Amino acid sequence: MKHQCMIVLDFGGQYSHLIARRVRDLGVYCEVKPYTVPVAQLQTTQPLGIILTGGPNSVYADNAPRCSKEILELGIPVLGICYGAQLMAYLADGGVGAAPVGEYGRVDLNLINEQSPLFAGVTKQSTCWMSHTDSIQRLPAGFEAIAQTPNCPVAAMENKNQKLYAVQFHPEVQHTQFGQMILDNFLKTICGCTGDWRMSGYVERTIAALREKIGTQKVICALSGGVDSTVAAVMLHRAIGKQLTCVFVDHGMLRKNEGDDVERVCRDTFDMNFIRVNAQDVFLNNLRGVIDPEAKRKIIGETFIRVFEQESKKIGKVGFLVQGTIYPDVIESGAGDSAVIKSHHNVGALPDVVDFDEIIEPLRMLFKDEVRRAGIELGIDEALVWRQPFPGPGLAVRILGEITPAKIALLQEADAIFRDEIAIAKMDRAISQYFAVLTNIKSVGVMGDGRTYDATIALRAVTTSDFMTAEFVPIPYEVLAKVSSRIVNEVGGVNRVVYDITAKPPGTIEWE
C-alpha cells in the first residue's frame, strides 16, 4: 500500500531539514523538494499537504524565489511558514512589505480565532519564535488573521474554505511553546494524515524493493565503517545475502578498536562476504610530511579510491554499487536555491573505478536519526548504531600537523577516554558530536618531580540540529576534570587538556 506523503518546499531557509524531521517525528512521511519543482511532478506523489518553508529573501524582490500560484489552487491543504507565509499572501494578491519593527527570538503570541483548527489545544496566550523583517500588511481576499503579536498584526492567517494556512513564526523550533501541536493539527486534522508511518515499515518495504530490483546480480559496497555505510550494507545483506560483497578499506586512522568492531558486526554477526583491506602503511606513506588539512583530505580520498579499485578488480563485474548517501547529503548538495554545503561525499569518485551498471542508495530518503532507528530495526548492535559522526579521513583531520603512527595511537587513547567518560556521565545521547583533537602545540608541564614538554589535547563537544550551526555543550566541570585527569595520567606524551567553547560559526565543528 502506498504510504501517505507530505511535501516540504524549500525556499533556502535554514530550517527546511528541521521541518521535515518534525513532520516525520509525528509519524508522517515527507520529502523536501526545491521550490522550482514543476507542479505536475508534485502531483505525481499525491501529497496530502504541502508546507512552504522559510527563507532569507523578501517576496517582493525581483529575484525572490517563488513557486507557482497553482500550488494554492490544487485543493490540498498548504501551510506557509515565515517566508512561506509571506509568499502565500503575495501569491494570493495580499500585501507584504518591510515591517515597522522586526521580531527576533521569543515573542508573545495571542490567538484572535481560538476556533481555528490550526490552533486546536493551543492556549490563547503563548510564546513563539520569530525571525523576520518583512510582514503581511494586507490580507488576501478570503483570508482572516487568526493570531497576532505586539508588533505583528498577522502572525497567522487562514482561508478555511481553500485549506490555506500560514504562520509568521517557526512552529518547528523548540522555542515555540505549542509548535509541535500546531504542526500535528495541520497534518492530522487539516490534511487527514493518519500518522502511522514507522521506520519498521520503511525498512521492510525497502528490503523488498531492493530484492526485486537486484534479482540475481552481484552488488559491491565500499564500507567506510561509519553508521550510514554499515546500515546500508546490512540492509542490502538482508535483501540479497551473499550476492553482496563489502570492501572495508582500513586506512589506520579510525577510532580505537573501530575497525575490529565493524568486522565483527559484518563478518561474525551477519555473516557477510566481507573483505578487510589493512592499508595503514600505504596511507601513512602517502601522508608523510603533509601538514595542510585540505591536502590530507585529497590524499586520503585518492588513496582510498586506488586501494578500493585494486580490490574491486578481483571481484569483477557487478550489477550495482552501494552508497550510504542519506537525506541531508542530498539536500546539502543543492536543492533549489539552498546553499551547497558540501559536494556528494560518501564515496567520492568510486563510480569512475568500479565496473557496475547502477548506484543503489537505500538510505537516500532518511535523516541521521532515522538511519540509526533503521539500524536498530535491522538488529545492529546499539553501541555501533549510536557511534558519534566520524569524518571520512578519520583522525587525520583531528591531528594538526603531520600524521604519524605515534600521534594516531596517542589520539585514539585520549579520544576513547573522553567518549568513555561522556557515556558514564550519561550525556552520550544528548550531545550531537564530541571528540578529542591532538593539537600541534607542546607546552611545559610538571609530572611527579620532573619537567615535561608534551602535547596538548583539545576536547570538542557540540549540540546541533542540522550540523550547519552548532553551540558548545556546557559539560559539567567535574566531568571535564575527570577526563583531563585520566588523559594526562593514562596517555603518555600529554600534559595539558583544554576545552573548546567556540560556536559554529565562527568556528567549525571539526578543527581541520
For residue 170, indicate whether it is catalytic.
yes
What pLDDT is stored for residue 429 in this prediction?
Answer: 87
Using pLDDT thresholds of 50, 70 and 90, give the confidence band for residue 201: confident
Q: Are residues 430 and 364 in the same domain?
A: no
pLDDT at 408: 96
- DSSP reduced 3-state for 60: coil
pLDDT tens digits, residue range 119-177? 999 999 999 998 888 999 999 999 999 999 999 999 999 999 999 999 999 999 888 99
Same domain, 229 and 376: yes
- Are 185 and 38 in a shared domain? yes
In this prediction, what percent of the chain has a pLDDT beyond 70? 93
* pLDDT at residue 366, rounded to an integer: 85
pLDDT at 364: 83
Spatial separation of the C-alpha atoms in residues 196 and 193, rounded to whole Å = 8
Mean per-residue pLDDT for 261-287?
91
Q: What does pTM read for this prediction?
A: 0.70
Q: Are residues 82 and 161 in the same domain?
A: yes
Q: Is residue 509 part of a domain?
A: no
With 60 as the cut, is the pLDDT of residue 360 above it? yes
Of 4-18, 183-197, 316-330, which has the strongest mean pLDDT? 183-197
Q: Which of 132, 170, 237, 251 is catalytic?
A: 170
317 and 355, same domain (yes or no): yes
Tell me which of 172, 311, 332, 421 is the catalytic residue.
Answer: 172
Do 144 and 223 lie in one domain? The reply is no
Residue carrying the nine cell digits 550540523 = 467
What CATH number does the domain containing 367 carry? 3.40.50.620
Give the end of a domain, one of 122, 157, 190: 190
Report pLDDT for 304.
87
One-letter amino acid at 129 equals: W
Domain boundary among 326, 352, 385: 385
Domain boundary among 190, 207, 237: 190
Q: Name the pLDDT band for 349 (thresholds 50, 70, 90).
A: low
Range of the domain at 468: 397-499
Angle between helices 368-377 and 227-240 (to 10 degrees): 40
Residue 80 falls inside a structural domain: yes
Q: What is the overall mean pLDDT for the chain? A: 88
Res 13: pLDDT: 74
- What local confidence, expressed as pLDDT, does residue 340 receive? 33
The answer to whether 377 is a known catalytic residue is no
CB atoms within 10 A of CB 374: 24
**315 assigned to some structural domain:** yes
CA atoms of 247 and 258, how far apart (whole Å): 15
Contact between residue 139 and residue 89 where contact means Cβ atoms under 8 Å apart: yes
Q: Looking at the predicted structure, is the pLDDT value of residue 334 above 50?
A: no
Count CB neighbours of 378 within 10 A.
18
> Can you give the pLDDT at residue 338?
38
Comparing 342 with 232, the larger pLDDT belongs to 232
More confident residue, 195 or 446: 195
In this prediction, residue 288 carries a pLDDT of 94
Q: In this predicted model, which residue has the larger pLDDT, 384 or 489?
A: 489
Catalytic residue (one of 17, 30, 67, 82): 82
Q: Quick check: 104 pLDDT over 60?
A: yes
Q: Is the pLDDT of residue 299 over 90?
A: yes
Q: Residue 236: inside a domain, yes or no?
A: yes
Asked if residue 369 and residue 402 are part of one domain, the reply reads no
Strands 6-10 and 30-34: parallel
pLDDT (mean) for 175-185: 94
Q: What percent of the chain has pLDDT over 90?
A: 54
Residues 320, 347 within the same domain: yes
Tens-digit pLDDT profile for residues 6-21: 999 988 777 777 898 8
The pLDDT score that the predictor gives to residue 461 is 95
511 in any annotated domain: no
Task: Average the pLDDT over 57-74 and give the result.
Answer: 90
**pLDDT at residue 188 is higher than 80:** yes
**From CA 351, how far away is CA 359, in angstroms rounded?**
8
Q: Is the pLDDT of residue 298 over 80?
A: yes
Same domain, 224 and 360: yes
Cell of 272: 557477510
Please say if the pLDDT value at position 426 is more than 80.
yes
pLDDT greater at residue 365 or residue 484: 484
Q: Are 272 and 221 in contact (CB under 8 A)?
A: no
Residue 255 clears pLDDT 70, i.e. is over it: yes
Q: How far apart are CA 160 and CA 69, in angstroms?
A: 17
Does residue 352 register a pLDDT over 70?
no
For residue 310, is it within any domain? yes
Q: Is residue 300 part of a domain?
A: yes
Does residue 115 have a pLDDT over 80?
yes
Give the span between the Cα atoms of 201 and 215, in whole angstroms: 21
Residue 390 falls inside a structural domain: no
How many residues can be counted in the chain? 512
Q: Is the pLDDT at 189 greater than 90, yes or no? A: yes
Domain count within the chain: 3
